[in-house]
């Protein structure tokens, strides 16, 4: 049986293997009360929630780019009437360890759908945090010796379905990966207004290239935590996005290599900036999927990078 030797130490090194979500059987439009995030809720109410057919086309475009760059792609086994697009939520790799996320309980079957992938990994390299630990892949960002973690420290954490990584999650990462410098960021949460909500850290920040990042100041509740990242990367290396660009998910692109980024074709200002810094931009249509408050990073789960 083919073995997978995991290796992910940052967000941008050359990608070799990835789990890409699937939209083949997304199910009917959810009820408003079942919406997991304010953007999905907005589109359910407006009658503009994305169709399966449109989302399948968008994901095919991403799969074609992985094919072009000779990336090994795994897809989840299909579960009828289940949203399996956002594989980043269900797990993540740090160095050579696969962490199964403690996700919202009714998403547990999404993990089962990638069990055939996990079976290719040494069992002692697949771990799951204890029950009280909440942590999702969208909140976990690797940068060499750093692990950047999005969280919500408010006493009203339990009131927010969009607060996905708790303080216990941050502590658990510190204890489990003691050789890493774990830095947490308190993110702005809003159950109803998508313009005011950073669902995960990758909704307001992401490294690109070798020394640059995309960042949205308004996603951070503590200005000094935003400033920490700006100082770390250097102001001239930060692409600051607007509130509208954050809403459109401009920080949620996905790197295949330091000089290759998959981005949404409508991200004109960002894509121009990336190309201006010598980065090849592979543009795809992803505007329908973005209506569920997730984009390219959310729908990919890297397993091996160089």
Instruction: Return the pLDDT at 81.
Output: 86
145 domain-assigned? yes
pLDDT by residue (tens digit) across 199-227?
899 999 999 999 999 999 999 999 999 99
Q: Tell which wins on pLDDT, 69 or 189.
A: 69
117 domain-assigned? yes
**What is the overall mean pLDDT for the chain?**
92
DSSP string, the chain: ------BB-BSSSPEEEEEE-B-TT--SPPPGGG-SSHHHHHHHHHT-PPPHHHHHHHHHHHHHHHHHTT-EEE-PPP-TT--B--GGGTEEEEBTEEEEP---GGGHHHHHTTHHHHTTS-GGGEE---TT----GGGEEEETTEEEEEE---TTGGG-TT----HHHHHHHHHH-TTSEEEEEEB---SS-GGG--SSGGGTEEEETTTEEEE-GGGBSSHHHHHHHHHHH-GGGEEEPPHHHHHTTTT--EEEETTEEEEETT-HHHHHHHHHTT-EEEEE--TTGGGGS--TTTTEEEEEE-
pLDDT by residue (tens digit) across 249-267?
999 999 999 999 999 999 9
Q: Does 161 score more than 70 pLDDT? A: no
Q: What is the mean pLDDT of residues 22-30?
A: 84
Q: Does 191 score more than 90 pLDDT? A: no
pLDDT by residue (tens digit) across 163-172?
678 999 999 9
Instruction: Return the pLDDT at 25.
Output: 85
62 domain-assigned? yes
Q: Does 162 score more than 60 pLDDT? A: no
238 domain-assigned? no
Q: Does 28 score more than 60 pLDDT? A: yes
Instruction: Return the pLDDT at 193.
Output: 79
Q: How sure is the predictor about 159, in pLDDT bands with cuts at 50, 70 and 90?
A: low
Q: Does 293 score more than 80 pLDDT? A: no
87 domain-assigned? yes
Structurally, the chain folds into a number of domains equal to 1
298 domain-assigned? yes
273 domain-assigned? no
We report the CATH number of the domain holding residue 106 as 3.75.10.10
Q: Does 190 score more than 70 pLDDT? A: yes
Instruction: Return the pLDDT at 154.
Output: 82
Percentage of the chain lying above the pLDDT 70 cut:
97
Q: Which domain holds residue 33?
A: 15-198+285-305
Q: Does 34 score more than 80 pLDDT? A: no
Q: What is the pTM of this model?
A: 0.94
Instruction: Return the pLDDT at 201.
Output: 96
206 domain-assigned? no
């Amino acid at each position: 049986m083919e073995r997978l030797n995991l290796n992910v130490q940052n967000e941008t090194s050359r990608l070799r293997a990835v789990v890409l979500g699937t939209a083949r059987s997304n199910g009917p439009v959810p009820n408003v009360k079942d919406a997991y995030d304010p953007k999905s809720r907005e589109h359910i109410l407006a009658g503009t929630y994305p169709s399966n057919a449109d989302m399948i086309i968008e994901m095919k475009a991403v799969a074609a780019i992985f094919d072009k760059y000779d990336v090994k792609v795994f897809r989840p086994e299909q579960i009828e009437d289940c949203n399996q697009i956002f594989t980043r939520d269900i797990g993540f790799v740090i160095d050579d360890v696969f962490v199964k996320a403690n996700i919202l309980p009714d998403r547990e079957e999404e993990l089962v759908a990638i069990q055939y992938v996990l079976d290719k990994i040494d069992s002692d390299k697949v771990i799951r945090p204890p029950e009280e630990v909440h942590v999702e892949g969208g909140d976990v960002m690797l940068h060499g010796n750093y692990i950047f973690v999005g969280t919500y420290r408010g006493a009203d954490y339990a009131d927010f379905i969009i607060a996905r990584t708790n303080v216990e999650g941050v502590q658990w990462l510190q204890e489990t990966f003691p050789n890493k410098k774990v830095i947490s960021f308190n993110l702005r949460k809003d159950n109803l207004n998508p313009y005011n909500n950073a669902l995960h850290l990758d909704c307001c920040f992401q490294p690109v290239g070798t020394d640059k990042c995309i960042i949205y100041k308004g996603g951070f509740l503590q200005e000094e935590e935003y400033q920490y990242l700006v100082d770390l990367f250097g102001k001239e290396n930060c692409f600051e996005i607007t509130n509208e660009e954050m809403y459109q998910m401009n920080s949620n692109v996905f790197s295949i290599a330091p000089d290759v980024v998959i981005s949404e074709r409508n991200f004109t200002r960002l894509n121009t900036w990336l190309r201006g810094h010598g980065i090849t931009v592979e543009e795809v249509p992803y505007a329908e999927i973005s209506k569920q408050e997730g984009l390219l990073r959310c729908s990919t789960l890297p397993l091996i990078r160089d």
